[in-house]
Structure 1
Amino acid sequence: MRRRSARGPDAAGRERVLILSAGVGAGHNSAAAALQQACAVRTDVDEVQVLDVLQVSSLLYRTLLGKGYFVLVEDLPWLVEWGYNINDRPFRHRGPVDPWTRVNALPVIDAIKRFRPTAIICTHFLPAQLLASLLLRGVIDARTAVVTTDYDFQGLWLTGAFHTLFLAREEGRVQLMALGLPPDRVAVTGIPIATPPNPAPARDANKPPMLLISAGATGGDYALSIVRQTLHMRSSFTATVLCGRNDALRQRIEQLVAPAGDRYRVLGFTAEMPQLLRRADLFVGKPGGLSASECMAAGLPMVLVNTIPGQEVRNGDYLMEQGAAVRCNIPATIGWKIDELLREPGRLQRMQEAAQRTGRPNAAADVLSRLLVGPSRPLVLTRDAQKTILAESEQRVVASDLTGPSSLVRVVDLAGSSTVALLRAEELGDLQKRYATPDGGLVLRRGDAHMSLRGGEPRLLRAILRGDDELPVRVEGPSPPPHIVPAGPAGHDP
C-alpha cells in the first residue's frame, strides 16, 4: 500500500537539476559549470541551477575553508599531505554534521527547498555530506549524485546516503567494491569538463611544438621560473604563457621574454582555454583534477610542476602510469627535461596518443544520463556498516575477507533490483524479526520504524521507503571480490 508517490520528474518528464559545488580552488566549480552545460542540451531538463555553497555561507566560514586551504598549500604543504592521508580512510569522521557546519548550511537547505529539485549533483564533498544528512532526515526527495573531481578516490567523498557515486577511473571503482560498496551504485565516467563551443584547428606537425605554460587561475609565481628555464632550451618551440588573474606576474613575464621576439605569447585570464588546449602540443603546469582531465580530453600530454601534496601528486602518478605525463621535481632542470622530451624522436607523439586514450570528454553527459534514469531510492549505509568499512581500510582487508557478525550484507529492492541498504550481518537479525513474511521474504514497513537497528532503523526506513508505506526486499550476502565484478561499456556497471 502506498501513502504517496515518490517525487520525480513532472508529468511531462521534465527534471529540475541543482548542482552544488564549493569554491575551494577552481576545479569544483568548473566541474559544476560543465554539468550545467550538459543539462542545457537535454530536452528532459526543465531548469538547472548551480550553487557554490561557500558563497552563501558566513564570511568567516568561507575564508577559513577557501583561502585557508591555499595558505596551507603555500606555507605548510606537509600539513596538507598529512590531512589528505588522514582523511583518506572512509568514515573516519562519522556522526551528524557538526554545529558550525550545520549553521552555515542553513542557506543551502533553504535554497534546496525553494528550487525543489528532482536531482542534485555534488562536485565537492562538503555538500555531499550535507545531502546525506538531509536524505536520512527525509528533508529532500531527489536523486543525488556525488561526482569526484580527482583521479584518486578519497574517503571524504563517501557518505552515509546517496543515489550514485561517480568516479574518475576504474581503480577507484575497484577500491570501493573491495570495501563492500554495491556495484550498481558506483559508476566510472571521468571528471566532467566543458565542451568547447568551437573546435580548434588540428595541430600542425610542420610547425614547432607549442608549449602551453599555465600559472593556474590565480597566477602562481612558479610560472616565472618555468619561463626562465625555457629560455635556455635548444629545441625549436613556441610558448603561450597563461598568468591567470595575476597582472603583476604577467608584466614580469612579458619583460622577461621581450628579447625573444614573437616566440612567446603572454596572456592573463582568458576564455580561450579550450581552444588553446587543442592547439598546444605540451602542457606545463599543475595536475589539478580538472586541468588534467581537460588536457587528456584534448590529447595534450603534461609536464607536471609544483604539485600540491595529496590529490595532485596522486593525479600525477596516474597520468605518468598512462604514459601521458612526466614530472619535474627540481625547478633548475625543468627546461632540460622539456628539451629532452622534445628532442627524443616520436616521444611527444606517443604521449599525445596516451593522453587521447586517457581522456573522457563526455563525462558530464554520462553523469546525467546515468543519474536521471538511475534508482529513485538512495543507498543507505548504516552506522555499523560504516564502522566495518573504516576498519577494513585501517586493517587493509577487503569486504569479501570478512565473516561473521561484522561482515557486510546488502538489502536489494525487489522491484527495482537496486541496492537500498548496506548493513552488518549482525543487524540483519533485527530486520528479519520485524519484517519477515511467511514465505521467508522481507517487507520493510513504515509503521514499524520505531524499533531497533541500534537506533538507526527509523532513518534507514525514512530514506529508502520515501513515499511508500512498504517495500519488498531481498538480502544478499557479502560482496564478491572486486576483480570478478565486471564493468559495462565506458566503465558503467552492467
Structure 2
Amino acid sequence: MKKKILLMYISNNSGHHKASLAIEKALHQRSANVETMNVNSFNYTNPVLEKIINTTYMSVIRRKPEFWGYLYDNPEIVKKTQRLRDGIHKHNAEKLSNLINSFSPHAVVCTQAFPCGMVADYKKKQNLQLPLFGVLTDYAPHAYWIYDNVDAYFVPSKEIATKLTSNGILSDRIMDTGIPIDSMFNDSKDKAHIFRTLGLDASKPVVLLMGGSQGVGPLKEAFTSLLRTKTDFQVIVVVGNNKAMHRWFNKQIKKSRKKLIVYSYVDFVADLMEIATILISKPGGITIAEAFAKGLPICIIKPIPGQEQMNTDYLLANNVAVKIEQPSNTGIIVEELLYNRGKLNELCRKARSYAKPDSADAIASTILNSIS
C-alpha cells in the first residue's frame, strides 16, 4: 500500500506553495511508493474567506505596512485572536474531516501556520494519532506556529530552532533542514545556453530585479535608479502576478538604455539566478533560500514589517546581504558592488555557505522514515 502524504499551504504561487511543491517533488523522487495531495487550505475550507484575507493583506502591505508589522508576532494580538481562530477552526472542521477521511493520509505536512494550527486543533479534538509536520519558510518563527500537537518542525536555521525551544517546543521535535526549495536549484546549468536562449550578452553583468509573487515593492523606482548608472549591465525584471507593473515595464523595453527583459510569474527562476550577477529583491524566505543555493549576492529592497523585516534582520546580522535603504540609491549600490569585485565575491561566498539546496530532500526523507 502506498504511503499517503497530505500537503497543505495557503495562496497559489506563494512561497508557501512553492515550498509545498518542492517537498512533494522530493517525496516522489525518494520513493515510488508515495501518493500525495497538495491542497490550498484556505481555498479548500473557505474560498470566500481566502479572497477576503488575500485582498485585505495586499491592501494593508501596500497602504499601511507598519500595521502588518504591529499584527505580526504580537503576543497581545495572538491572545486576542485566539477565540477568532478557534471559531475559524470549528467552522472548517467538517471540510477538514471530509478531506482527511477521504484521502486517509499517513502524515500531514503544512508549509504555513494557518493549516498547521487547524490540523493541530483537529487532532486534539478528535484525539487523532496523525503525524503532523510544520515547515517554516521564513527566518521568523512567529507565535502562530506554536502547537502541542505538531510532531516535528523543520526550520531554516539553528537560530530559529533556538527561538522555538524558547517558546516551549522540545528540541527533539525541531530539525534544522533549511527552507525547502526545488531540487532544480541544486542542478548545474549551462550558462552559455541560458544566455543564448534569453538573448543576453554573456560578457556583461546581469542584475535580476524581483518583486515576489505579487510584484509588490518599489520596482519602478529601483529600475529608474539603475538606468541612471553609467556601468554597462543587463536587467531582468520579474513582476509576479502584478499586471499593471508588467505593462509598465513592457513599455520601458524600447526606451531603456540597458538591455531589459520582463517576466511575470515564471517557473525558471533557477535559470535566471544561474546567470545573474546580483539579485535585488524583497526578502521572502523562499527567494533567499534559492539565492543562497545559487551563491547569488542579495540586495534587499523595501522589506515590509513582519516576516520580511525579520528575514532582513537575520541576513544583515550574518552579513549575508546588503540592504538598499532608499530605492533611489539602487543604482549607486549596484555600481559599487560591480566595481568592488572583492565585496561581490565575498557575498557570493557567504551565500553559498548558508545554502541548503537539499532541504526538501532532507524533509522528505524524515517524513518517510517516520511513517515507514
TM-score by length of 2: 0.89
Please say if residues 146 and 169 of structure 2, whose CA atoms lie closer than 8 Å, have aligned partners that are also in contact.
no
Query: Which of 23, 46, 58 matches 2:11?
Result: 23
Structure 1 residues 217-296: aligned runs within 5 Å:
217-220=213-216, 222-260=218-256, 263-296=259-292
2:237 and 2:322 map into 1 onto residues whose CA distance is 19
Cα deviation code 1:33-87 (max 9, x no counterpart): 1111111112264201101111113343112222211111111111101111414
- Is the counterpart of residue 181 in structure 1 residue 166 in structure 2? no
Q: Bigger CA drift: 63-72 or 87-96?
A: 87-96
Partner of 2:71: 83
Matched residue of 2:140: which SS? Answer: coil
Distance of 1:237 and 1:21 partners within structure 2: 38
Cα offset, 1:153, TM superposition: 1.4
Q: Who is 1:60 aligned against?
A: 48
The structure 2 residue matched to 1:109, chosen from 85, 94, 97, is 97
Identify the residue that residue 459 of structure 1 maps to in structure 2. none
CA contact (8 A) 2:225 2:328 kept: yes
- Aligned equivalent of 1:426: none
In the TM superposition, 1:34-433 aligns within 5 A as 34-43=22-31, 45-87=33-75, 98-138=86-126, 140-196=128-184, 199-202=188-191, 207-220=203-216, 222-260=218-256, 263-374=259-370
Larger radius of gyration: 1
Deviation at 1:141, TM superposition (A): 3.2
1:271–1:368 CA distance, 2 compared to 1 (3 A) = closer
Distance 1:173 1:66, change over 3 A: same
Q: Please give the alpha-carbon distance, in whole angstroms, between the structure 2 residues aligned to 1:48 and 1:245.
A: 27
Contact 1:150/1:290 (<8 A) preserved: yes
Instruction: Give the length in aligned residue pairs.
Output: 364
Going from structure 1 to structure 2, the CA distance change for 1:89 and 1:200 (only over 3 Å counts) comes to: farther
Counterparts of 2:105 and 2:17, CA distance in 1: 19
SS at match of 2:178: coil
> CA–CA distance in 2 between the matches of 1:233 and 1:88?
47
The structure in which a higher percent of residues are helix is 2
TM-score w.r.t. structure 1 length? 0.68
Given that 2:212 and 2:284 are in contact with CA atoms closer than 8 Å, whether structure 1 keeps it comes out as no
Asked if the contact 1:91–1:155 (Cα under 8 Å) also holds between the matched residues in 2, the reply is no
* Post-superposition offset of 1:94: 5.6
Q: Report if aligned partners of 1:89, 1:154 keep a CA contact under 8 Å in 2.
A: no
The 1:33–1:217 alpha-carbon spacing in structure 2 relative to 1, beyond 3 Å, is same
Aligned to 1:391: none
CA distance in 1, matches of 2:48, 2:177: 35
SS of 1:287's equivalent in the other structure is coil
Task: Tell me, yes or no, if the aligned pair for 1:87 and 1:154 is still in contact at 8 Å.
Answer: no
Q: How many angstroms apart in 1 are the aligned matches of 2:207 and 2:247? A: 19
Q: State how far apart, in whole Å, the 2-side matches of 1:210 and 1:156 are.
A: 39
* C-alpha distance in 2 between matches for 1:320 and 1:267: 29
Percent identity over paired residues: 23
The one-letter code of the counterpart of 1:17 is: I
**Amino acid of the residue matched to residue 224 of structure 1?**
K
CA distance in 2, matches of 1:252, 1:165: 42
Q: Are 2:293 and 2:355, in contact at CA under 8 Å, matched by a contact in 1?
A: yes
- State how far apart, in whole Å, the 2-side matches of 1:80 and 1:97 are: 18
| Distance across 2 between alignment mates of 1:288 and 1:206 | 28
**Aligned partners of 2:213 and 2:265 also within 8 Å:** yes
Alignment partners' CA distance in 2, 1:154 and 1:112 = 27
Q: For residue 341 of structure 2, give the secondary structure of its aligned residue in structure 1.
A: coil
Letter in 1 for 2:189: A
Contact 1:244-1:268 at 8 Å conserved across structures: yes
Gaps of 5+ in 1: 1-9, 377-494
Aligned partner of 2:198 in structure 1 is none
Contiguous gaps of at least 5 residues in structure 2: 196-200
Q: Considering only aligned residues, what root-mean-square deviation do their CA atoms show, in Å? A: 2.7
Q: Structure 1 residues 272, 287: CA separation in 2 closer, same or farther (over 3 Å shift)?
A: same
Between the aligned partners of 1:278 and 1:96, the Cα distance in structure 2 is 45
State the one-letter code of the partner of 1:201: D
Partners of 1:247 and 1:135 lie apart in 2 by 41
- One-letter amino acid matched to 1:46: V
Query: Are the aligned partners of 2:71 and 2:77 in contact in 1 as well (CA < 8 Å)?
Result: no
Q: Deviations over 1:317-344 (max 9, x none)?
A: 2122333211112122111121112222
User: Any idea what the Cα deviations from partners look like across 1:132-161, whole Å, max 9, x if unmatched?
Assistant: 122223364321100111012111111121
Does the 8 A contact of 2:146 with 2:167 survive in 1?
no
Residue 192 of structure 1 aligns with an amino acid whose one-letter code is P
Contact preservation (8 Å) 1:301, 1:351: yes
Deviation at 1:122, TM superposition (A): 0.6
How far apart are residue 357 of structure 1 and its match? 0.9
Aligned partners of 2:279, 2:191: CA distance in 1, in Å? Answer: 16
